[in-house]
Amino acid sequence: MADVQPTAWVDKLALTELVTKYFQLVDDKDFAVEQMQAIFTDDGSVTRPNDAVIAGPAEIAESNSKSFARFRATQHLPSGFVIELDGDQAAVRVNVMAMHLWADGFGDPNALDKHFVGGVVIRASARRTASGWRLTNLRGRNVWRSGSGFGTMLQTTQG
């Protein structure tokens, strides 16, 4: 491992907390615009696994509110952060294990399972701003999944 400047550790911790905070907000269903403004730049975006792109903190908040309403509960467990710093820019890769419990009326009504779980690789870009680090893009790629109803979710634009 190359020598890392002491300030790099502070930046890496801040970026780790930023991504972790985003998933905490998702799991808490706290989609206030102010919360998303503390995570994303004004032009920041989320690219869903179905390639739908949602841009701007207000749109991300609204989209997440609609998208995650179909779940009774979710739990996203980020781990294995790899962060590359380049001045005031950063690239982040993180693994996320995600459990989704369907709310009544959602998912596959014929399935015995009422949940799905998956492994996702998140790639994010971030920029240091006057207010601290903010994400400019967060993109998820499904690596594996198990459970019911996931195919239906991918077909929606809010997925």
Q: For residue 119, what is the domain's CATH number?
A: 3.10.450.50
Q: What's the pLDDT score for residue 104?
A: 83
Q: Are 94 and 80 in contact (CB under 8 A)?
A: yes
Q: Is residue 1 part of a domain?
A: no
Q: Is residue 88 part of a domain?
A: yes
Q: What's the pLDDT score for residue 108?
A: 66
Nearest partner of 52 among 37, 42, 67, judged by Cα? 67
Q: Is residue 159 part of a domain?
A: no
Q: Is residue 69 part of a domain?
A: yes
Per residue in 13-60, pLDDT (tens digit) is: 999 999 999 999 999 999 999 999 999 999 999 999 889 999 999 999
Confidence of residue 146 (pLDDT cuts 50, 70, 90): confident
Number of domains in the chain: 1
Sign for the CA dihedral angle at 36, 37, 39, 42 comes to: positive
pLDDT for residue 159 is more than 60: no
Residue-range definition of the domain harbouring residue 13: 6-154
Q: Is residue 80 part of a domain?
A: yes
Predicted TM-score of the model (pTM) = 0.87
Q: What's the pLDDT score for residue 157?
A: 43
Q: Is residue 125 part of a domain?
A: yes
Mark out the alpha helices in the chain (DSSP H runs).
6-28, 33-37, 57-68, 150-154
Q: What's the pLDDT score for residue 35?
A: 97
